[in-house]
Amino acid sequence: MYDQEKGYNTENDVDSATIKSLGPTFLLGVVKSEMAKLALVLLLFTLFMAMPLLQSTFGESSKEVASITNTSPTLFGAVFIFDDPLTEGPEGTSRLVGRAQGLYGSADQQELGLLVAVNFVFTTGKFNASSLTILGRNVALNPPAEMPIIGGTGVFRFARGFVMAKRHFLNVASGNGVLNYNVFVIHY
């Protein structure tokens, strides 16, 4: 019999003692069954991140946490941590939707290839208190950079997808830049 309140057929319900006697295989089957009821959602959206690059005039939102000791043209070994605004548009007046928090390090001795680990932490709207986690390689001088979305929290639990990142604006003298992220994410 279908129970509207429980949202499933109660005809085959079993008590907890029976479940325990069946062991982990049964529990795995229940989890798979419940997962099958979830719907996949594909979202496509664009975000912008004002990102101080290296030593910036933007202020205190980016810090070098590991310095290099040689004169590597690729800054190999340098690591920076950041907490930058995530907005709907590239302008400084654009609506803030969250924060981009993470780190990047120069991990290539031949070209400016960065290892990027960043959480997009949403603070407004329907994604409030949710996050997406991105981990990948960004060859800074060869855009766009395709990086995988490896997970998320809140609305984005079990998220998978990718981002395409490219420079929207860069001022080499000041170290300030704005990155454009096209986000392609599938979640349940």
Domain positions in the chain are 2-36, 41-187
pTM over 0.85: no
CA nearest 98: which of 142, 59, 154, 144? Answer: 154
Q: Residues 177, 86, 74, 138: is their CA dihedral positive or negative?
A: negative
Rounded CA gap, 149 and 147, in Å? Answer: 7
Tokens of 101: 């928090």
CA nearest 57: which of 175, 177, 178, 179? Answer: 175
Tokens of 11: 């005809």
Task: Say whether pLDDT at 31 is over 50.
Answer: no
Counting Cα atoms < 13 Å in the Cβ hemisphere of 161 gives 23
Beta bridge partners, 186, equal 42, 160
Q: Specify the pairing of strand 113-122 against strand 41-52.
A: unpaired
Largest separation between any pair of C-alpha atoms in the chain: 73
Instruction: State residue 163's pLDDT score.
Output: 92
Task: Say whether pLDDT at 1 is over 60.
Answer: no
Region 69-93: mean pLDDT is 84
Tell me what the pLDDT averaged over the chain comes to. Answer: 76
Residue 101 is inside which H or E element, if any? strand 96-106
Confidence bin at 3 (pLDDT 50/70/90): low
User: What CATH number does domain 41-187 carry, 3.30.1330.200, 2.40.480.10, 1.10.10.10, 3.30.465.10?
Assistant: 2.40.480.10
Instruction: State residue 56's pLDDT score.
Output: 42
Tokens of 74: 């690729």
